[in-house]
Amino acid sequence: MIDLHCHILPELDDGARSLQDSVAMARQAADDGIEKVCATPHIRHDHDVHIPEIAARVAALQATLDRESVPVRILPGGELAETAARHLTPEELHRVSLGGTLGWVLLEPAPGPLGDGLHAVVDHLGALGARAIVAHPERHAGADLEHRLLTFVEQGCLIQWTAEFVRAASDEDLVLRYARDGLVHLLASDAHSSLAGRPVRLAGAFERLRSSCTPDWIDWMANIAPRAIVAGEPVTPP
Ligand SMILES: [Fe+2]
């Protein structure tokens, strides 16, 4: 599996507190069967992340993981805020895309319900050659959530839900119906630390979807789509 959303780089945004914390997060990932983790620091006005430094920070963490025999590969990326997306140069956009391939950008909605502004940003990114993955819609659920999700899909977006939210979903939770209806494309940890909050784990969330989705669909979400995304390839949900 590949975790497409993880704040694993140390001492950068509100993610891993230290290099030791980053290594512990990578060990969590490995224990869960995750082979690759996209480092997705916040690209947002309230976090001082210098985009040109991301690649070197990824390489430095990888060197530590290799030295400590943690079998996880770190890929470059970013979590691009809706409010910051228009300020990036094409070069910067390329650097924060998942896997550094320009194909796919992880897009963080502004606080509050998903709105028209995010659809406009998706179009803006599309004009620059990138397709968008809408991050954690469960945190941006207005009364029109389903209509918004369908419109994002029509725009060519993929929808990423938080793995821990899905793992803990009750039988009545709408996310399971959305999964049946094909509006759950990707699960990611959005983990920030090994010391608190959500773990770097995906397997339990995919297990939770077994009652709603066919094995082929789960394999697409867990393996086929994420591999294509980090390779910058087109992805269309079946
Ligand atoms: Fe995040």
Share of the chain above pLDDT 70, in %: 100
Considering the entire predicted model, what is its pTM?
A: 0.97
189 belongs to a structural domain: yes
238 has pLDDT over 90: no
188 C-alpha vs ligand 1 centroid, how far in Å?
Answer: 9
**Cα end-to-end span (Å), the chain:** 19
107 C-alpha vs ligand 1 centroid, how far in Å?
Answer: 9
Segments of 72-210 assigned E as strands: 73-75, 79-81, 104-108, 131-135, 158-162, 186-188
128 C-alpha vs ligand 1 centroid, how far in Å?
Answer: 23
79 C-alpha vs ligand 1 centroid, how far in Å?
Answer: 6
What average pLDDT does this structure show over 132-146?
A: 97
237 belongs to a structural domain: no
180 belongs to a structural domain: yes
Across the chain, what does the average pLDDT equal? 97
- Which residues lie below 8 Å from residue 69, measured CB to CB, with a gap of 6+? none
For residue range 33-86, what is the model confidence (pLDDT) as tens digits? Answer: 999 999 999 999 999 999 999 999 999 999 999 999 999 999 999 999 999 999
32 C-alpha vs ligand 1 centroid, how far in Å?
Answer: 19
5 C-alpha vs ligand 1 centroid, how far in Å?
Answer: 6
The amino acid at 35:
E
Segments of 2-157 assigned E as strands: 2-6, 36-39, 42-43, 73-75, 79-81, 104-108, 131-135
46 belongs to a structural domain: yes
235 belongs to a structural domain: no
Contact (Cβ atoms closer than 8 angstroms) between residue 28 and residue 198 = no
58 belongs to a structural domain: yes
> Can you give the CATH number for the domain in which 139 is found?
3.20.20.140
Contact (Cβ atoms closer than 8 angstroms) between residue 202 and residue 34 = yes
Q: Output DSSP code: residue 83.
A: T
For residue range 151-210, what is the model confidence (pLDDT) as tens digits? Answer: 999 999 999 999 999 999 999 999 999 999 999 999 999 999 999 999 999 999 999 999
236 belongs to a structural domain: no
136 C-alpha vs ligand 1 centroid, how far in Å?
Answer: 8
Q: List the domain range (segments joined by +) for residue 24.
A: 2-230
127 C-alpha vs ligand 1 centroid, how far in Å?
Answer: 24
197 C-alpha vs ligand 1 centroid, how far in Å?
Answer: 12
For 234, the 3-state DSSP assignment is coil
141 belongs to a structural domain: yes
Q: Into how many domains does the chain fold?
A: 1
